[in-house]
Amino acid sequence: MITPRLAGSLKLAACGGIVAVAWLVVLPWVGRQPPFERHVRAMEEGDVNPAAMVYTELERLPLRPSWAEDQLVLWP
């Protein structure tokens, strides 16, 4: 019989296993794909550490669609 405490432990172990598989199997596989390899190689050639890149280096996306600008009333 599975007690609530054992069920919680099993759920925690399952979540940990999923994270471990994603971290140790899926992400390395994605990193070996040609587009990612080319990007990492280009970054390293430019003396940029690709592991240190953050989202602030990307172009900013619009906060809302342009059609909504006409319908929104912004407070001063």
SS (H, E, C) 5-34: HHHHHHHHHHHHHHHHHHHHHHHHHHHCCH
Task: Confirm whether 34 is domain-assigned.
Answer: yes
Task: Confirm whether 62 is domain-assigned.
Answer: no
pLDDT at 62 over 70: no
> Which residue range(s) make up the domain with 38?
22-51
Calpha distance 39→25 (Å, rounded): 20
Calpha distance 50→43 (Å, rounded): 6
Q: Give me the pLDDT at residue 10, please.
A: 96
Task: Confirm whether 17 is domain-assigned.
Answer: no
Percent above pLDDT 70 for the chain:
80
Task: Confirm whether 72 is domain-assigned.
Answer: no
Task: Confirm whether 46 is domain-assigned.
Answer: yes
How many domains are contained in the chain? 1
Identify residue 31 by its one-letter amino acid code: G
pLDDT band of residue 53 (cuts 50, 70, 90) is low
